[in-house]
Structure 1
């Protein structure tokens, strides 16, 4: 070996040694000095002093014979075959896993909340027994307790659920998404192929078309909480592929104006959606709040239409077909006015807001300062303004809109207030970036062309009237719907 080759080999060896030192936390190679050694099954490390490390397992410079040390000065050791390594492997087998233990034995593999936290979803009408029905696919709804929400993100375990049957178990390895119709190249994607494409992660609400609907008994009950009123609403960080990216791949033909999306479950929920929405911000979502979408939210794949009514956000998405005209399906909503005119199909959710603290079911325990807190949201974009009244709607004052303000997502607001112990009605209203403002009951009735009594009797989808709360002299808080 000539000197040039020798120097090259030495450089290569030293690079490999440095790499081993840099990867000391991987596999059986661990530094021995200082406080580092093999991790035990409880996630800690066992200190091994230099003098206790078997000499044969210390990596050395082959030219100088010097012991290799990492950048922290710790010995670089191949622990394989040492007594310490065998003891470590034995302990691993005892608890059932290489990190912290077996899933059924150790909650640290997937965390659980404190036993002192008992917040849970709310069943419709108190979550009583299922009523008799001749409908083949029975519908059930479980509400999110929005009054207990901290921040703008709804935990996955508290996201509201609307289903038309039992939640199916879908194997992601077998699941496929097909895009066909007015396209140049019909394609079928596996989950692996979809997850390999460029992705986005965005925060948006999902809200049922009937959220806040006054024909729901719980909605107008005096004891209603914010969850009873607006429990068909949740906000998550959604991760997936933009539908516009997939449409680039298949090539949309000229004249395409609509697409419809279908589910893979037994109910086969299907909706026809304008093409402009597909090219705007529609997401084919496989992730929710940093983990795969949960089964009750559409695992392994769902359609996410920011700002559109929740029932259009097809769960367990299996098919998208591009068309040149609207296709009529079950549960497509419009509304008749008193003059017998009909609205066009309504997709977008209007601006809404709700005070969460203090709110229905809660109680003020003293006079003095309180921070009124709540959320606002709109299917039309960002929230730009929130106002609060603490005198039953006589006057309105600007609340502080807290950032970050995301489009078509929950936005927090706060308002400083001092309660004097007298009976009062409080409420909020919001305005979005289009200039649309949440109406009072009287304003909404005028828009519908009816009087308030008729509105109370009929109810309305997409109703977005202000939500007042009444606080009595004892500090008890009840639902004051229709009072503003």
Structure 2
């Protein structure tokens, strides 16, 4: 192993063995010896290796027939959403995206995180209607078939629950896989009708400044949104990753509000009430409002600030001895593009800039990668995102000093994973 790490290409650019970000673009020794941390869940799910790799049984028989709708391999059955909260078919709860099991930037539709307040309604698209009313010249009612005939646009966008990562406020670091802690965020290609087209068709009154969006779930979830944002880049989402939106993600219609907290992306959209003031509903007063140390409260903090997360190595995975590894992760910002991600292997004493995988898009997941020559000793891994506005992801102590401990939402502090000498990985505050 010492010979591998002595290659002239393995010159550290920061403490803890972090190497040049473009190292893996080179051929040769490094690519031949590099490793990744392996998922413990995948190892547990793997069947005994009874086949001869040179002559496996499946090359001697005809394969399975066609299916009407494809499904993942049975050997990937461990890659599922982590369900929390109320586990009954109807109820209040969440399911987390297994971020540590995925690659690239697109979350498969069947693994997109869920947040339900009253279960998933079974909506007949032939009956469902979207109504626009209030301070408009012409109240309008749209069928789903109507909307499908309008001009559409597509964007790759992340959606993140305002409560994602909120265990970070706890006094003690929670020990879960990365996705079961930070996985109330997903990224998909959303396709739909620009909401400005529909609002312009209705003729918005000059006095209007807010819109109350309401869903068709049993709780009639509703939130207040500034009219200016809806006229700017919001859309009525009809497709997710090329197919109609899944029921748990808003079928047949979902409001898409780029870069803003998940609660504003109202699922099962049924009503848009144009008005001149916010409604001060439960989800913008009792919830999604945070008391600050000053005694004042943060309200209508819609934008999700820049954030990053190392998904490999991460808790629930295992390192296998000193070697060159690839640090992999995701970064995102509701304010635009990610301009830079830095990684640290010494708890933030030194930083190295990671490679950003193309394409880098606004309000979308950005995949980052960085080579790391782990020497087999204890290490502390961190990532830090900077977006195109210049905003830098804060350390946990800085965020707590600014926001206090009465918050529950919008936690975006730098996360630290501790790597022990035996290759185990845990969540620490450092």
**What TM-score does the superposition give when structure 2 sets the normalisation length?**
0.81
Partner of 1:462: 410
2:308–2:330 CA contact under 8 A, matched in 1:
yes
Partner of 1:356: 311
Q: In 1, distance between residues paired with 2:171 and 2:249? A: 24
**Match status 1:207 vs 2:160:** yes
1:293–1:300 CA contact under 8 A, matched in 2:
yes
Partner of 1:397: 352
Q: Which has the higher strand share?
A: 2
Matched position secondary structure for 2:110: helix
* Structure 1 residues 227 and 218, CA gap change in structure 2 (3 angstroms): farther
Partner of 1:388: 343
* Structure 1 residues 286 and 219, CA gap change in structure 2 (3 angstroms): farther
For 1:292, which of 231, 240, 244 is the aligned residue? Answer: 244
Q: Alpha carbon RMSD of aligned pairs, Å?
A: 1.9
Greater gyration radius: 1
Deviates more, 1:375-384 or 1:340-349: 340-349
Give the gaps of 5 or more residues in structure 2. 1-63
1:218–1:229 CA contact under 8 A, matched in 2:
no
1:416-435 equivalent positions in 2, closer than 5 A: 416-435=371-390
For 1:366, which of 318, 321, 336 is the aligned residue? Answer: 321
Q: In 1, distance between residues paired with 2:86 and 2:226? A: 39
Deviation at 1:342, TM superposition (A): 2.2
**Match status 1:240 vs 2:192:** yes
Deviation at 1:108, TM superposition (A): 2.2
1:327-342 equivalent positions in 2, closer than 5 A: 327-332=279-284, 333-342=288-297
Q: In 2, distance between residues paired with 1:106 and 1:243? A: 43
1:370–1:418 CA contact under 8 A, matched in 2:
yes
**Match status 1:112 vs 2:71:** yes
2:168–2:411 CA contact under 8 A, matched in 1:
no
Matched position secondary structure for 1:178: strand
Q: In 2, distance between residues paired with 1:459 and 1:478? A: 24
Partner of 1:280: 232
Partner of 2:37: none
**Match status 1:312 vs 2:264:** yes
Partner of 2:83: 123
Matched position secondary structure for 2:317: coil
Residues 293-315 of structure 1, C-alpha deviations (whole Å, 9 max, x = no match):
00000100010111111011111
2:168–2:174 CA contact under 8 A, matched in 1:
no
Q: In 2, distance between residues paired with 1:229 and 1:218? A: 15
* Structure 1 residues 392 and 142, CA gap change in structure 2 (3 angstroms): same
Residues 103-140 of structure 1, C-alpha deviations (whole Å, 9 max, x = no match):
xx96521111111112111122xx8966xxxxxx8411
Deviates more, 1:164-173 or 1:176-185: 164-173
* Structure 1 residues 422 and 459, CA gap change in structure 2 (3 angstroms): farther
1:436-451 equivalent positions in 2, closer than 5 A: 436-448=391-403, 450=404
Q: In 2, distance between residues paired with 1:234 and 1:384? A: 20
Aligned length: 362
Q: In 1, distance between residues paired with 2:70 and 2:87? A: 31
2:92–2:119 CA contact under 8 A, matched in 1:
no
Q: In 2, distance between residues paired with 1:242 and 1:430? A: 30
1:46-61 equivalent positions in 2, closer than 5 A: none
For 2:178, which of 209, 226, 234 is the aligned residue? Answer: 226
Higher relative contact order (CA 8 A, sep 6+): 2
